[in-house]
Amino acid sequence: FFALKFTSLQMAEESDHLTLRELASARPRPVHIGAAVWPSHIYEEPDTFGAILPKEFNSITLEAHHKWKDLLADERNGGVYNYETADRTVEYAMHHQMEVKGHVLCWPEHMPEFTRKMAKSKLREALLDHINQTMRHYLGKVSSWDVVNEAFRTDGTGRETSSILSKHFGLDYVADAFHAAHQADPNCKLLYNDCTILSAGYPKSNAVYKMVSNLVKNAVPINGIGCQGHINAASEGEWGPPKSQGLKATLRQYGKLGLTVNVSEMDVRTSELPKSKISQRDSIQAMVYGNLLSTCLAEPNFTGLTTWGVTDKHSWINDFFGADRPLLFDENYEKKPAYYAVANSLGHTEQNGIKSVFKSLKNKFR
């Protein structure tokens, strides 16, 4: 803990004026550093949330407003879309020269209500129409899409979901979705996204890898993998902090398939750690963020990291699991040790060391 705290303070002292966005962009191989957002927070808190977002991050993902049923004016009727909120956020990102990562075109467990009793042929038609319409609406504005999210159960068994898509098609809908997405926008990066797949060797991560390998083998147009990164610092196994060896194995096995990897939805829960001071829990959290990002940055097919939110104040974790501190900024928008751990990882390169990166940044951003 003390070693980490010293590193964080040292980093803060030397790079106070360097943001995560600047550090990510100045790397020899730039990466994205992104945040998932709920659009209302941008406009309701312009001096905090709205100020930090474009300063610290170069990429935006909408937490909900690009999902199929959230784009519909009424999820009981698939014919009418309402893009207004999502469009406003995409325009905001473009104004601030931020990349937009689309999330998500097909989430089997969260299908719109109108699809739930559809016949097989009609269901496939509805899914492909949705992908085509949404991607064409954002043609040239969204750089990558999570085409399919969580085709496998979250229970670690490696089994498919019990969704209506799985019931009718097994996993065949995954390839269909990627083909439709590529046809709608051939220049967009197309990703498969899932949770608990950061470390190779578990039943679920093995099942995902097998499916993706088959997609590549059959020339399905897939460009990369999103490993979500919802981590419980008090857990072990799939939900706990990934060990470097397992994480490297994940990036390298997908690299051999010619695919990129991004950490797409990172947050680190600490409330279940043994009762201790907040500062101690924050230090453990910082090590998780820093170790994960440093390991990933060493691999050439790693493209970036997105935290699932900006501030602890608005994290989904608080509603789903109970009060916690999972993100880089606390409830008062103060930078936490995890922020400095991420900055430290972004600012360091194996070839030149952290000092040379700071030097080049000071020249660039004078």
Cα 328–237–204 angle (5° rounding)? 100
pLDDT digits over 115-166, tens only? 988 999 999 999 999 999 999 999 999 999 999 999 999 887 788 888 999 9
pLDDT interval class at 79 (50, 70, 90): confident
Phi, psi of 354 (to 5 degrees): -70, -35
Question: Over 70: is that where the pLDDT of 349 sits?
Answer: no
pLDDT interval class at 317 (50, 70, 90): very high
Contacts 24+ apart (CB under 8 A), 286-289: 286/4, 286/8, 286/336, 286/337, 286/338, 286/340, 286/341, 287/4, 287/341, 288/231, 288/233, 288/241, 288/338, 289/328, 289/338, 289/341, 289/342, 289/345
Mean pLDDT of the chain: 91
pLDDT (0 to 100) of residue 357 = 40
What is the pLDDT averaged over residues 199-215?
96
Question: Over 80: is that where the pLDDT of 265 sits?
Answer: yes
Residues 6+ apart with CB under 8 A from 331: 311, 312, 313, 325
3 state SS for the chain: CHHHHHHHHHHHHHCCCCCHHHHHHCCCCCCEEEEEECHHHHHHCCCCHHHHHHHHCCEEEECCCCCHHHHEEECCEEEEECCHHHHHHHHHHHHCCCEEEEEEEECHHHCCHHHCCCCHHHHHHHHHHHHHHHHHHCCCCCCEEEEEECCECCCCCCCECCCHHHHHHCCHHHHHHHHHHHHHCCCCEEEEEECCCCCCCCHHHHHHHHHHHHHHHCCCCCCEEEECCEEECCCCHHHCCCCHHHHHHHHHHHHHCCCEEEEEEEEEECCCCCCCCHHHHHHHHHHHHHHHHHHHHCCCCEEEEEECCCEHHHCHHHHHCCCCCCCCECCCCCECHHHHHHHHHHHCCCCCHHHHHHHHHHHHCC
Question: Over 70: is that where the pLDDT of 50 sits?
Answer: yes
Question: Over 50: is that where the pLDDT of 364 sits?
Answer: no
- Which residue from 181, 108, 180, 112 is spatially nearest to 151, judged by alpha carbons? 108
**Where in the sequence numbering do the catalytic residues fall?**
150, 265
What is the pLDDT averaged over residues 173-177?
98
Strands 59-62 and 99-106: parallel
Percent of the chain with pLDDT strictly greater than 90 = 86
pLDDT (0 to 100) of residue 159 = 86
pLDDT (0 to 100) of residue 263 = 98
Q: Provide the sign of the torsion angle of the four alpha carbons 158, 163, 167, 170, taken in this order.
A: negative
Question: Over 70: is that where the pLDDT of 361 sits?
Answer: no
Percent of the chain with pLDDT strictly greater than 70 = 91
Rounded CA Rg of the chain: 20
